[in-house]
Amino acid sequence: MTDHLQFVPILVVGFITALGLTPVSRWLAMRLGVVAKPNNRTIHNGNMPLLGGLAIYIGFTLSLLLFSPPAYIAQFGAVMAGAGFIAAVGALDDRYNLNIRTRFIAAAVAGAFVVVSGISFTITGIGIIDGGLTIFWIMALTNAVNFQDNMDGLSAGSSAIAAAFFLLIALSQGLILVSLLSAAVLGSAVGFLVHNFAPSSTFMGDMGALMLGFVLAVIGVKVEMVTPPFSPLWLVPLVVVWLPVFDINLVIFTRISEGRSPGQAGRDHTSHRLMSLGLSHRWVLLILYANCTLFGLAGLALTLTASVPLALLCIALVAAQYMLAWKIRRNYQLTPAAPPVST
C-alpha cells in the first residue's frame, strides 16, 4: 500500500472496533457498577455507564497493532503503553473517583515515559528543557480534554475533529507516523461518537477522555516542525486542539479569580456558558464543532503558508472569545440559582 494511503485501514479498523465494542463496554460498566449517578450537578437521568473509553482504547490499539509499519513499531509501542497506563488510571478514577492531583501526576508519568522513548519537542535544543516542556504539554492537554468532557458528544467530537486536521497536516507534510496515529484516534473516536452523540447512551468516562487527550498531545509533539523560535508554525498544535486548550484556561482563570480552587467543580465551562444563553444541547455541540473546524482549518493553513497575519488573527479571535465567555459568565451565570456541575 502506498505511503499516503497507509492510514485508511487503521481508520476503518479503529472505527469498526470502537463502534462494535461500545455496547459491550456499556454492558460491562453496568455490571461492574462503573456508572455516573444522577445528582444535582448533572443533567442526565438514571445511571450512565462510564467505560466507553475501553472501546476507544481497544479500537485505537488494535488498529495500530494490525497495521503499524515495522519502522515505527518502537514509537507506536511507547505511545500505546502510555495510552494504556493513562486509560487504566482513568478507569480507576471512574470507579473510585480519584482526586485531580492524581490525574495530573499520572499524565506527567505517562509523558515522562514518552520522552524517555525518544518523543520530545526540540524547541530549545537542550534536552532537559525540551523534555520538561514535552511533559508539561502532555500533562496539560491530557487533563484539558478530560476537563471538557462535560456534555454528550463533546470530547469525542472535538477530539475527532482535531485528529482529522492532524491527519490532513500530516499528509500534507509527509509525516507518516503522525498520519497513522491521527487516523487511529479519528476512527476510534467517531466509532464511539455514534453511541455518544446527544442523547447519549453511554459516556467515555475519564478512561476515554484522558486517553484521547494523551494521544492528541503526543501527536502535537510529533507534528512539530523545525522552525525559527518565533515562527507562527509553533502555533499549529495549539490551534488544532483549540477547544480543550481554550476551555481549561478559561475554567482555571475563572475559578482562581472567583476565589475557588481550580479543581473545584462549577458551571463555568465553555459548553455551560453557551447553554446558559438558552441554546439546546445539540446547538451548543454544533457551535463548538464549528469552532473546532474553523481553528482546524486555520492550523492547516498555517502549516501550508506560515502566515504571520493568520497567526495574529487566530490570537485576536481567541482573545475575543475569552472576552465573550467572560461577559456571558458575568451576565447570565453569576446567580445564586446556578447549580455547580462536575468537571
Q: Each residue of 193-237: pLDDT tens digit?
A: 999 987 888 999 999 999 999 999 999 999 876 566 667 888 999
Q: What values do phi and psi take at 93, rounded to 5? A: -65, -40
Query: What letter would DSSP give residue 200?
Result: P
In a domain, 340, yes or no: no
C-beta of residue 220 within 8 angstroms of C-beta of residue 79: no
Average pLDDT in the 171-186 region? 94
Share of the chain above pLDDT 70, in %: 92
Grid coordinates representing 19 are 463502534
23 burial level (CB within 10 Å; 0-12, 13-18, 19+): middle
Residues 41-99 have pLDDT tens digits of 455 456 789 899 999 999 999 999 999 888 888 888 889 999 999 999 999 999 998 88
CA distance 247 to 289: 14
pLDDT band at 33 (very low <50, low <70, confident <90, very high): confident
Mean pLDDT of 171-190: 94
Beta-ladder partners of 48: 36
The confidence score (pLDDT) of residue 201 equals: 87
Average pLDDT, the chain: 90
Measured in degrees and rounded to the nearest 5, phi and psi for residue 123 equal -70, -45
Q: Is residue 342 part of a domain?
A: no
Of 191, 284, 300, 187, the closest CA to residue 235 belongs to: 300
pLDDT of amino acid 154: 95
Please tell me the number of Cα atoms within 13 Å of 245 on its side-chain side.
21
Helical segments of the chain, H only: 7-32, 52-67, 73-96, 100-116, 127-147, 154-173, 176-196, 205-222, 236-240, 242-257, 270-275, 281-305, 308-328
**pLDDT tens digits, one per residue of 115-169:** 998 899 888 888 899 999 999 999 999 999 999 988 999 999 999 999 999 999 9
Structural domain count, the chain: 1
Which of the pair, 334 or 282, is modelled with greater confidence?
Answer: 282
Over residues 244-273, mean pLDDT: 90
Q: Which domain holds residue 194?
A: 3-333
The whole-angstrom distance between residue 64's C-alpha and the CA centroid of its chain comes to 19
Domain for residue 280, yes or no?
A: yes
Residue 179 has which C-alpha cell?
Answer: 498520519
202: left (phi over 0), alpha (psi -120 to 50) or beta: beta
Instruction: Note whether residue 257 is domain-resident.
Output: yes
Residue 333's alpha-carbon distances to 86, 118, 267, 326, in angstroms, are: 34, 46, 8, 10
Is position 243 within any domain? yes
Strand partners, 36: 48
Give the H/E segment covering residue 199: none
The pLDDT score that the predictor gives to residue 234 is 86
Rounded distance between C-alpha atoms, residue 84 and residue 268, angstroms: 30
Strand-strand pairing, 35-36 and 48-49: antiparallel
Give the phi and the psi of residue 49 in degrees, each rounded to 5.
-65, 145
Give the pLDDT of residue 226: 56
- Burial degree of 262 (CB within 10 A; 0-12, 13-18, 19+): middle
Please tell me the least confidently modeled range out of 34-43, 45-54, 303-312.
Answer: 34-43
341 inside domain: no
pLDDT of residue 126: 86
Look at residue 188 and tell me if it is in a domain. yes
Question: What pLDDT is recorded for position 221?
Answer: 93
pLDDT at position 40 is 47
State whether residue 227 is helix, strand or coil: coil
Backbone phi and psi for residue 63, each to the nearest 5 degrees, phi listed first: -65, -40
Give the model's pLDDT for residue 188.
Answer: 98
Residue 147 lies in a domain: yes
Tell me the three state secondary structure of residue 71: helix
